[in-house]
Amino acid sequence: MAVVFLILLGIMGLMMLSAKLFAEKPVEEAQTSFSKEATELSTKELFTQDPLAKAAAIIALAEASGEKDGKKFKIQTIRKIK
């Protein structure tokens, strides 16, 4: 039992060491470019720039409507949330 514990402990140590050695360093340029995108875009501009924005808006409308049949909903604003 102790041998199995030591082997597993050794494997865990090797995994932690290899994760530190081969880990990719975070790119700070991506974070700064995201914060520069704080300007508000119109709905059409947002849909052309972000292909998933239209899907997100439709899903948000479906969630807002819930089980209410016959009601009409309208998108007033679209904002990105971090």
Cβ neighbour number for residue 60 with a 10 Å cutoff: 13
Question: What's the alpha-carbon Rg for the chain, to the nearest Å?
Answer: 24
Q: How many domains does the chain have?
A: 1
pLDDT band at 2 (very low <50, low <70, confident <90, very high): very high
58 belongs to a structural domain: yes
29 belongs to a structural domain: no
Domain span including residue 49: 35-66+77-82
52 belongs to a structural domain: yes
The reported pTM is 0.37
5 belongs to a structural domain: no
pLDDT of residue 35: 47
pLDDT, tens digit (0-9, with 9 covering 90-100), for 12-65: 999 999 988 888 776 665 444 444 444 566 777 777 777 788 788 788 878 877
pLDDT of residue 13: 95
| Amino acid code (one letter) for 77 | T
57 belongs to a structural domain: yes
Q: Are 54 and 47 in contact (CB under 8 A)?
A: yes
pLDDT reading at 66 higher than 80: no
Coil, helix or strand at residue 14: helix
